[in-house]
Structure 1
């Protein structure tokens, strides 16, 4: 089923000035879903899921958070945190005229979804959290992103060199996920350092006490054998959220290469969120 796709933009005002955010809408209607990307990745990574959900009648929006994709990329670490990102999602809902939405995301996007549910619970119809980054991911996250921060801050020419190599490659001639990797490598050193710095030393996710107070339905997807996104974090989150359903993916690649099962789970969940009153009971696990 073909669905309409439209690119839009909104502007947010902060202490350092005005920033532009870019988003894509898929489909139409009042059953809103917002999908968020992983750290340093573009919103285009959610395009396959967005199209699948829109084909089921949902109105899906993918957003490039500040510092990512085609949105502005200020080089100030103070503007980057999950709370700031969550405020951008709420600003998007205001811009679209969407009273509520199912909020979902991958990795950083999952954490931001949780933050939206904390700061604006009345705007959240449900949550879809794939591989959240919580308590069990600290050491692996430092090992993975510490060198990235060091290179961007002290060896910026390495980031610039990678950008010059990857930017000219036409995305239309490479496989979709290879294009996403190329987009992720298309970074400016100063902004990249600011994003990683801000998330390292700022608030990365709501604490457990606040997560336990989130009362909307949630779909939590965890992957085995992924140290940066340990399945233990996803399982812990599913236990903490009062209305959570936990789905175990076969691997981190399943939703990328064989998405049919998880797309169906996500579509059924989002549609159920819009058909069920907010005060619904805990779903079966």
Structure 2
């Protein structure tokens, strides 16, 4: 998802005194869009996050994301665990959501590969639509339609056929404090995946939030839970107590 999708949460965290950086990963937002499928994967995105930390001179950070962005955060914890102070995992896409994800992205891949004129026409038709008036999911969809067909096909191809998330054994070895967010009613982010991940991670807590379609207008419950978690994770290392359960 483009960084604009996280604007609201970024402002909430920044208002708590945190230094917040929201990147556009390769193929998203204002970042480059190569037409090579090999350039895209969850592991490649994780490498980009670590590279961004290097660029910023940040030895450690709380890392998080939504949907596949949560999977990227997990990969960062596997690849560079010493640099991750906490994991914010909003609606991870794991085994139960895989069928939905494939069913959603495969037609997009087909259209971008074999009907590029249709993708271009949809992008042209979407340009006059004011982004600020659209809910988060619709805004992401419009942004995707405005991409050129070849880079769009490469992006979907790379994500679908690459490694989507760390293995179960790798997840169970992650000891970084984590907040897993489950959104009942969201067809793209299965609650069962979030619940399973919260059980698999040794120091994870689970927060349930009933906002399936308007993630950009999450309730105060979510703002408080996320801010509390990130502020705690950002403190100097000490003894932290993990919390399980939902709200």
> Which structure features the higher share of helix residues?
2
Q: CA deviation at 1:259?
A: 3.2
Please point out which of 183, 188, 207 is paired with 2:143.
Answer: 183
Q: 5+ unaligned residues in a row in structure 1: which ranges?
A: 1-40
Q: Secondary structure at the match of 1:60?
A: coil
Matched, 1:79 2:39: yes
Q: Which residue of 2 aligns with 1:96?
A: 56
TM-score by length of 2: 0.93
Counterparts of residues 7-26 of structure 1 (less than 5 Å): none
Higher relative contact order (CA 8 A, sep 6+): 2
Tell whether the 8 Å contact from 1:221 to 1:246 is kept in structure 2 after alignment.
yes
2:23 maps to 63
Residue of structure 2 in register with 1:46 after alignment: 6
Instruction: Assess if the C-alpha contact under 8 Å between 1:216 and 1:278 holds in 2.
Output: no
Is 2:125 aligned against 1:165?
Answer: yes
The 8 Å contact of residues 5 and 216 in structure 2, kept in 1 or not, is answered as no
Distance, in Å, in 2 between the alignment partners of 1:131 and 1:284 is 16
**SS in structure 1 opposite 2:20?**
strand
Aligned equivalent of 2:66: 106
Return the match for 1:238 from 187, 198, 202.
Answer: 198
Counterpart position of 2:171: 211
Task: Output the TM-score relative to the length of structure 1.
Answer: 0.81
For 2:185, the equivalent position in structure 1 comes to 225
Q: Which residue of 1 aligns with 2:82?
A: 122
**Contact 2:183/2:212, CA 8 A, preserved across alignment:** yes
Residue 116 of structure 2 corresponds to residue 156 of structure 1 = yes
Q: What is residue 32 of structure 1 aligned with on the other side?
A: none
Answer yes or no: is the 8 Å Cα contact 1:141–1:228 preserved in 2: yes
Q: Distance in 2 between matches of 1:116 and 1:67?
A: 19
Aligned residue number for residue 31 of structure 1: none
How far residue 180 of structure 1 moved from its aligned partner, in angstroms, is 4.6
**284 and 227 in structure 1: CA distance in 2 versus 1, 3 angstrom threshold:** closer
Between the two proteins, the alignment pairs up a number of residues equal to: 244
Decide whether the 8 Å contact of 1:217 with 1:283 is kept in 2: no
1:117-136 Cα offsets, whole Å, 9 max, x none, are: 00000110000001100011
